[in-house]
Chains A and B, each alone.
Chain A
Amino acid sequence: MMKFLPSVLRSIRENAQPALRTFAAIAVLVMLAYPLALLGIGQLAFPGQSNGSVMMCNGKAVGSTLIGQNVTSPMLFHPRPSNESASGVDPHIRPEAAYAQIPRINSTTDIDARFIRLLVEKNLDANRASNAGVLAPDYVNVNELNLDLIQRFPEKYPGFCA
Chain B
Amino acid sequence: MIEEASQFVLVIVWALILAYFLGGYLTRLITGRPRMFETFLSRIERPVFRIMGIDPTRSMTWKEYLFALLSMNALVGVFSFVVLLAQGVLPLNPTGVPGTSPDLAFHTATSFATNTDLQHYAGEASLSLFSQLSLMVPMFIAPGTAIAAGIAFIRALPTSTGKIGNFYADLTRVVLTILLPVSIVVAILLNSQGVPQTLNGLLTTGSFEGASQTIPIGPVASWESIKMFGQNGGGFFGANSAHPFENPNGFTNLLEVIFLLAVPLAFPIAYGKVLGRGRGLAFLAVILVSFFLLFGFALLGGGAPIGQETRFQGFGSLLFQQSSIGANTGATNALLESLSHRATTSLFVLMFIQAVPGGAGAGFMTLVIYAILTLFLVGLIVGKTPEFIGIKISPRQVRLAVITFLVHPVLILIPTAIAFVYGHVQGILGTPTTPFGYTQALYEFTSAAANNGSDFLGTLANTPFWNIATGLVMVLGRYVPIGLMLAIAGEFSTQGARGTPEPIRTDGLPFTVTLFGLTFLLSALAFLPFLVIGPFVR
> Once the chains are docked, how many angstroms separate the CA of A134 from the CA of B1?
10
User: How far, in Å, is A6 (CB) from chain B's closest CB?
Assistant: 14
A101-142 near B? 1/0 per residue, CB < 8 Å: 000000000000000000000000001001110111101000
Q: Does B244 contact A27, Cβ atoms closer than 8 Å?
A: no
> Once the chains are docked, how many angstroms separate the CA of A19 from the CA of B2?
51
- Contacts A27-B79, A31-B136; A38 near B311 (Cβ below 8 A): no
User: How far, in Å, is B217 (CB) from chain A's closest CB?
Assistant: 5
User: How far, in Å, is A26 (CB) from chain B's closest CB?
Assistant: 6
Q: Does A86 contact B172, Cβ atoms closer than 8 Å?
A: no
- Contacts A69-B213, A136-B250, A137-B316; A21 near B137 (Cβ below 8 A): no
User: Which A residues are CB-close (under 8 A) to B211?
Assistant: 69-70
B100 within 8 A of A: no
Q: Does A35 contact B133, Cβ atoms closer than 8 Å?
A: yes
User: Which B residues are CB-close (under 8 A) to A130?
Assistant: 193, 249, 251
Choose from A25, A62, A91 the contact partner of B52 (Cβ within 8 Å).
Answer: A25
A2 within 8 A of B: no
Partner-binding segment picked from B63-71, B393-401, B430-438, B487-495 = B63-71
> Once the chains are docked, how many angstroms separate the CA of A15 from the CA of B74?
12
Q: Does A139 contact B310, Cβ atoms closer than 8 Å?
A: yes
Partner-binding segment picked from B101-109, B201-209, B370-378, B529-537 = B201-209
> Once the chains are docked, how many angstroms separate the CA of A68 from the CA of B386?
60
> Once the chains are docked, how many angstroms separate the CA of A87 from the CA of B249?
13
User: Which A residues are CB-close (under 8 A) to B64?
Assistant: 11
B383 within 8 A of A: no
- Contacts A35-B222, A63-B213, A69-B213; A87 near B239 (Cβ below 8 A): yes
Those of B76-134 within 8 Å (CB) of chain A: 76, 79, 133-134
Q: Does A93 contact B310, Cβ atoms closer than 8 Å?
A: yes
B195 within 8 A of A: yes
B183 within 8 A of A: yes
> Once the chains are docked, how many angstroms separate the CA of A85 from the CA of B140?
31
> Once the chains are docked, how many angstroms separate the CA of A21 from the CA of B140?
16
Those of A126-162 within 8 Å (CB) of chain B: 127, 130-132, 134-137, 139, 146-147, 150, 159-162
B463 within 8 A of A: no
User: How far, in Å, is B203 (CB) from chain A's closest CB?
Assistant: 5
User: Which B residues are CB-close (under 8 A) to A71?
Assistant: 208-209
Choose from B67, B196, B209 the contact partner of A160 (Cβ within 8 Å).
Answer: B209
Q: Does A67 contact B209, Cβ atoms closer than 8 Å?
A: no
Q: Does A23 contact B199, Cβ atoms closer than 8 Å?
A: no
> Once the chains are docked, how many angstroms separate the CA of A95 from the CA of B20?
40
16 A/B residue pairs, CB under 8 Å, sorted by A:
A17-B53, A21-B54, A34-B136, A34-B222, A46-B192, A49-B193, A50-B191, A62-B208, A69-B213, A87-B244, A90-B244, A132-B251, A137-B250, A137-B313, A147-B208, A159-B210
What 8 A-B pairs come out closest when comparing CB atoms? Answer: A136-B250, A135-B250, A86-B242, A42-B197, A131-B250, A66-B244, A87-B239, A61-B205
Show the binding face of B for A, using Cβ within 8 Å: 2-3, 6-7, 10, 48, 51-54, 64, 67-68, 71-72, 75-76, 79, 133-134, 136-137, 139-141, 144, 168, 171-172, 175-176, 180, 183-184, 187-188, 191-200, 203, 205-211, 213, 215, 217, 219, 221-222, 226, 237, 239, 242-245, 248-251, 253-254, 305-313, 315-316, 332-335, 338
